[in-house]
A and B are shown apart, each in its own frame.
Chain A
Amino acid sequence: MSTLLSLVETTGNTGETVVFWVCAVIAVAGALGMLLSHKAVHSALFIASTMISLAVLYVSQSAPFLGMTQVVVYTGAVMMLFLFVLMIVGVDSSDSLVETIKGQRVAAVVAALAFAGLLVAGIGSATWSVVGLDKANTVDGGNVQGIAHLIFGRYVFAFEATSALLITAALGAMVLAHRERHTPRATQRQMSEERVRSGHAQNLPGPGVYARHNAVGTPAMLPDGTPTDRSVPEPLRGVSAVVGIDSADTASVTALAAGGSVIPTTDEETES
């Protein structure tokens, strides 16, 4: 408790302390959520919240340029790239829960805790004398000017090297993601002939539109009242979030067709 109090103790301005504790909690919660959520899309959204709170922390540490870059580069570009690849690879690609190496999870917990303990112990034994960036941020007229002065001055060769790195990375990604076409592209005539031969010359049924569900994942009903899977787009088939027509719906449709009432009767009503 005393260590917690010493952490909360305010030596400088109170606003920064409040910002730090709010953003630190969001960042750690986002990181934990990323680790613990089974779906990769949820992980991506959690880590996006972590990155945004880190951007706020940068700004509160008098690094406004880096804060903006964090929002633009990480949450804007990198996370969107992650989400696009998740869409291609499949949103339902969740982790397998089988341990391949026996005892790996326990060992990982022990290693992570030991590593965190090592780092925290090292940080705790250090002494801090804060200079602050007020002088460095004003000597060139501002934070952005100061960083520009360093990038295009002392670090200009590293900067040029990063430009080469970015071009190489873009080219490499294009080469890796490029797929060579080995067979000629099917013409429209071939595709239509193929379609007639397949026995389904007509369109696939559209999604089901009902009073309760009209999502694209809702299966359509065939004329005999049975739901069909063919109306659901292939990536959505078998996803647990897709709500099918439950038996109550079909029952009420049948009741309506028979001239009855479709107002649902709950158990409480029948009891009283």
Chain B
Amino acid sequence: MNPANYIYLSAVLFSLGAFGVLVRRNAIVVFMCVELMLNASNLAFVSFARIHGNLDGQVIAFFVMVVAAAEVVVGLAIIMTIFRTRRSASVDEANLLKY
């Protein structure tokens, strides 16, 4: 099994996630696309760990997961706060930092 296939898959998933971030308007869906990009990079880390034969890549992927979890918690709290004041989860609506 060619290990490059995993890297190709990771590149495709990352590009799809980036495309979603650029196109989608719903802030929650944009967030999911960011998660997809993080997952794609994790897949690349795990594949490179296997290619190079040491576990450092897996440890980095683990740290990425931890940071992603923290990011999701804070990001969703921000989305909820914006939704409370503006009654909308669209990224176009939130064009002011106040009010």
Are A and B genuine complex partners? yes
Residues of A bordering B, CB below 8 Å = 6-7, 9-13, 16-17, 20, 24, 27-28, 31-32, 34-35, 40, 43-44, 47, 50-51, 54, 57-58, 61-63, 65-66, 69-70, 73-74, 77-78, 81-82, 85-86, 88-90, 93-96, 100, 104-105, 107-109, 111-113, 115-116, 119-120, 123-124, 126, 128-133, 135-137, 143, 146-147, 150-151, 155, 158-159, 162, 165-166, 168-170, 172-174, 176-177, 179
> Dominant SS at the A interface?
helix
A11 in contact with B15 given A89-B83, A128-B51 (CB within 8 Å): no
A112 in contact with B11 given A131-B52, A147-B62 (CB within 8 Å): no
Q: Which of the residues A105, A158, A177 comes within 8 Å of B81, measured between beta carbons?
A: A177
Assess whether B54 is in contact with A120, with CB atoms less than 8 Å apart.
Answer: no
Q: Which of the residues B65, B79, B90 comes within 8 Å of A69, measured between beta carbons?
A: B65
* Central interface residue in A10, A73, A108, A169, by most chain B CB within 10 Å: A169
Interface size class of B (residues with CB under 8 A): 35 or more
A176 in contact with B78 given A47-B36, A155-B59, A166-B66 (CB within 8 Å): yes
Assess whether A34 is in contact with B33, with CB atoms less than 8 Å apart.
Answer: yes
Assess whether A116 is in contact with B15, with CB atoms less than 8 Å apart.
Answer: yes
A34 cross-chain contacts in B, Cβ below 8 A: 20, 29, 32-33, 36
Can you report 11 residue pairs joining A to B where beta carbons are below 8 Å apart?
Answer: A58-B46, A65-B62, A77-B69, A82-B32, A89-B89, A94-B26, A128-B4, A135-B53, A162-B63, A166-B69, A172-B74
Question: Whole-angstrom distance between the alpha carbons of A173 and B81 in the complex?
Answer: 10
Nearest to A96 among chain B residues (CB) is B25
B25 cross-chain contacts in A, Cβ below 8 A: 95-96, 100
Assess whether A120 is in contact with B11, with CB atoms less than 8 Å apart.
Answer: yes
Given contacts A10-B1, A133-B49, A143-B55, 6 further A-B contacts (CB under 8 A): A94-B26, A111-B19, A112-B15, A120-B11, A120-B12, A173-B74
Check: B94 CB closer than 8 A to any chain A CB: no
